[in-house]
């Protein structure tokens, strides 16, 4: 069970969080004309890297904030966590 540092609450066990997927996905702006391909990439296509991955976790049984977690997908090492509005390195 991972031990995730929530920037709002401190270190908490994984069972307080829900996984939220790739944090680098950017939603296309509203009212912008975009191709089927672009939209398809946004809705469906995700990388599944082995190694460093910036991902979203939702502290649902805590502060209910979405946070960004930089985690190694093969070793589970967590390098850094960020608030939702914090810029990632």
Partner 1 sequence: MSQDFRLDNIGMVNRNKKISFTFNGKKYFGYEGDTIASALIANGVHLVGRSFKYHRPRGFFGVGVDEPYAILQLERNNERDPNIRATEQEIFEGLEVKSVNCWPSVNFDIGAINNFLKMFFPAGFYYKTFMWPPSFWYKIYEPFIRMAAGFGEASIKHDKERYEHKYEYCDLLITGSGPSGLASAYAAAKNGARVILAEDKPRYGGSLLTSDVNVGNQTGAEWSEKIITELKSMSNVIVKNRSQVFGYYDHNMLVMSERISDHLPKTQKYLPKQRLWYIRAKEVLISSGSIERPLVFGNNDTPGVMLSSAAKEYIKVYGVLVGKKPLIFTNNDSGYETAIEFKKNGVNPLILDTRKEPSSDIITEAKNLGIEIKYSYVVVAAKGYKKVKSADIAKISDNKKDLSNIENIECDCICVSGFWTPSIHLASQSGNKSEFNEKIDAFIPKKSKQKENTIGSANGKFTLEETINEAFNKGYEVSNKITENNNKVSVPTVVEKKSTEHDKFWCVPLPKGKSYKRFLDFQNDVAVTDIELALREGFRSIEHVKRYTTLGMATDQGKTSNLNGLQLVSDIENKVVPQVGHTTFRPPYTPVSIGAIVGREVGKHSKPTRKSPMHEWHEKNNAVFVDAGVWLRPRYYKQGNETLFEASKREAKNVRKNVGVCDVTTLGKIDVKGPDAAEFLNRVYTNAWLKLPVGKARYGVMLREDGIVMDDGTTTRISENHYHMTTTTAQAANVLSHLEYYLQLVWPELNVNVVSTTEQWAGAAIAGPNSRALLMKLFPNTDVSNEALPFMGYKEADLFGIPAKIYRISFSGELAYEVNVESDYGNFMWEKIIEVGKEFQIQAYGTEALSTLRIEMGHVAGSELDGRTIPHDASLEGLVSKKKDFIGKRSLSRSAFTKPDREKIVGVVPLDKTTSIPEGSYIVKDPKAKLPNPKLGHVSASCWSVEYDNPFSLAIIKDGKNMIGQKLFAMSPLKNKTIPVEIVSSHYVDPEGKRVRA
35-64 residues near Zn ion, rule: CB under 5 A: 59, 62-63
Distance CA 29, CA 56 (A): 20
42-81 residues near partner 1, rule: CB under 8 A: 42-44, 56, 58, 60, 64-66, 75-76, 78
Size of the site for partner 1 (CB under 8 A): 27
Reduced 3-state DSSP string for 53-65: EEEEEECCCCCCC
Distance CA 41, CA 57 (A): 21
Q: Which secondary-structure segment (H or E) carries 43?
A: helix 36-43
* Sites of contact with Zn ion (CB under 5 A): 6, 8-9, 59, 62-63
* Sites of contact with partner 1 (CB under 8 A): 1-3, 13, 18, 20, 27-28, 30-31, 34, 36, 39, 42-44, 56, 58, 60, 64-66, 75-76, 78, 84-85
């Amino acid at each position: 069970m991972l031990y995730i540092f929530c920037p709002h609450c401190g270190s908490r066990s994984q069972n307080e969080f829900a996984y939220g997927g790739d944090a680098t996905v950017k939603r296309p702006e509203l009212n912008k004309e975009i191709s089927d391909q672009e939209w398809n990439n946004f809705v469906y296509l995700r990388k599944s890297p082995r190694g460093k991955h910036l991902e979203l976790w939702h502290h649902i049984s805590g502060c209910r904030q979405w946070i960004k977690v930089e985690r190694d997908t093969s070793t589970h090492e967590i390098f850094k966590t960020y608030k939702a509005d914090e810029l990632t390195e």
